[in-house]
Structure 1
Amino acid sequence: MAQTLSLFATRLYRAPLGGRDPDLLRQELADACTMLEQEDVAGRRWCRENGYKGYTSYASLNDLPTRVSAFGDLKKRLDRHAARFADDVGFDLAGGKLKLDSLWVNLLPPGGIHTGHIHPHSVISGTYYVTLPDGASALKLEDPRLAMMMAAPTRLPEAALDLQPFVFLTPQEGEIILWESWLRHEVVLNRAKAKRVSISFNYAWV
């Protein structure tokens, strides 16, 4: 009997942040992100010098969970989700553990993008979505086999999601999305009339 197997799955985890008063925490984080954009002079300078349209604290602040209590609360909740995802993908941590080693905010204005990239030196990466106005950018994910497909035909539009070369996800406010850090992804053009606010993070295996 003929059989077609699905091998080497790429897993993606998405869930509401959860915990106590998640909407209140989301508003506190929104206020904190706005504050950082206004006060982080080094971050704004890095964005100007590197042609980043909008604001990110990626290159300027590495202590957000201890700098602002709302980020500390967020970290505790993210730790629980990261542990669940690690179980989902069957990680054998061999006595080690997952550690949140970076967390940064992103304020993407209308017309802003974040080009395709991966997160080296990490094992789990993800984003928590704070503010998503109507028309806000989708998250675009790339099939990691794409560079090796050579002469393969394109996929039919109605082909299953796990066969498509690119998948576009529309996040929801208050949601987290996690993936393994080698998965190439990007944020497409923000067509909203307001800023798209998110908080991204990496977990290392230590």
Structure 2
Amino acid sequence: MAEPEFTALWPTNLMRITLPGAEQANPVLAELIERMDAGRDQMTTDYLSGNFFDFGHPAVGWLKSCVERAVVDYARGTGVDYPIDFSIQAWPNVNRFGDYHDLHNHPHSWLSGTYYVRVPSGEDAPPGREDRTPNAISFFDPRPQANMLAIRNDPQVDPEHRILPEAGQMLIWPAFLHHMVHVNLSREARISVSFNIVLRWRNEYLP
């Protein structure tokens, strides 16, 4: 009997990378972002007010260049083997004790991503349930109820993929993908830079 062929239909690609130079850049970025946050009450939620990557600072320029390279790597890794023209909208996030981000996605964008400047260890979290995962990010299967008839060892069985990121890591995913950020239970702030990748349209993008 011939060997069967299997095709993974409609995969959702998530890219994860640790940036070289992060140990040197992160303390500088953290100080800069915390200084910006002190002057803007709603900096984290008012993400359309300016573009963080327009800020003229060497550490911000370093991060912008890393994101630009990562977007090209994501495209190549997912089979897009031609030049793409895009802009980046970036904003800093400061999440203190009790802060979190509800389930959401990022409309009008091609990709979304986050770079992690500081992720508290959570050792100072108050007592509570053992299944808590402070500062983790969860991604959810974009196909509703795809796991309804999944059985053990079926890759569709868990509709949630949860990651506890580390400082210096960057995640990039399709902007349509719903995700949420778990609550920070540390007295130390979680600091990150999120971004959207918006395509400048070309007819060459048409399938």
TM-score between the two structures when normalised by the length of structure 2: 0.80
State the number of aligned residues.
Answer: 187
Tell me by how many angstroms 1:154 deviates.
Answer: 6.2
Q: In 2, are the aligned partners of 1:116 and 1:184 still within 8 Å (CA)?
A: yes
The equivalent of 1:121 in structure 2 is: 108
Identity %: 28
Quote the RMSD (CA, aligned, Å). Answer: 2.3
2:194 maps to which of 197, 200, 203? 200
The letter of the residue matching 1:181 is A
List per-residue Cα deviations over 1:45-73 (Å, max 9, x = no partner).
x47xxxxxxx4451433254334332122
The equivalent of 1:35 in structure 2 is: 35
The letter of the residue matching 1:152 is M
1:141 maps to which of 139, 146, 149? 139
Q: In 2, are the aligned partners of 1:56 and 1:105 still within 8 Å (CA)?
A: no
TM-score between the two structures when normalised by the length of structure 1: 0.80
1:89 maps to which of 66, 73, 78? 78
List per-residue Cα deviations over 1:91-137 (Å, max 9, x = no partner).
366x641221x100111111111001111111111000000111341
Tell me, yes or no, if structure 1 residue 152 matches structure 2 residue 148.
yes
Q: Which runs of no fewer than 5 residues in structure 1 stay unpaired?
A: 48-54
Q: In 2, are the aligned partners of 1:137 and 1:192 still within 8 Å (CA)?
A: no
Q: Which runs of no fewer than 5 residues in structure 2 stay unpaired?
A: 123-133, 201-207
Distance 1:98 1:92, change over 3 A: farther
The equivalent of 2:125 in structure 1 is: none
Distance 1:137 1:155, change over 3 A: farther
Secondary structure of the 1:164 match is: coil
The equivalent of 2:15 in structure 1 is: 13
Distance 1:182 1:155, change over 3 A: farther
Higher helix share: 1
Secondary structure of the 1:81 match is: helix
Secondary structure of the 1:27 match is: helix
The equivalent of 2:180 in structure 1 is: 186
List per-residue Cα deviations over 1:12-54 (Å, max 9, x = no partner).
1001122xx33111111111110111122xxx1x47xxxxxxx
The equivalent of 1:50 in structure 2 is: none
CA distance in 1, matches of 2:80, 2:6: 26
Tell me, yes or no, if structure 1 residue 98 matches structure 2 residue 89.
no
The letter of the residue matching 1:74 is L
Q: In 1, are the aligned partners of 2:139 and 2:177 still within 8 Å (CA)?
A: yes
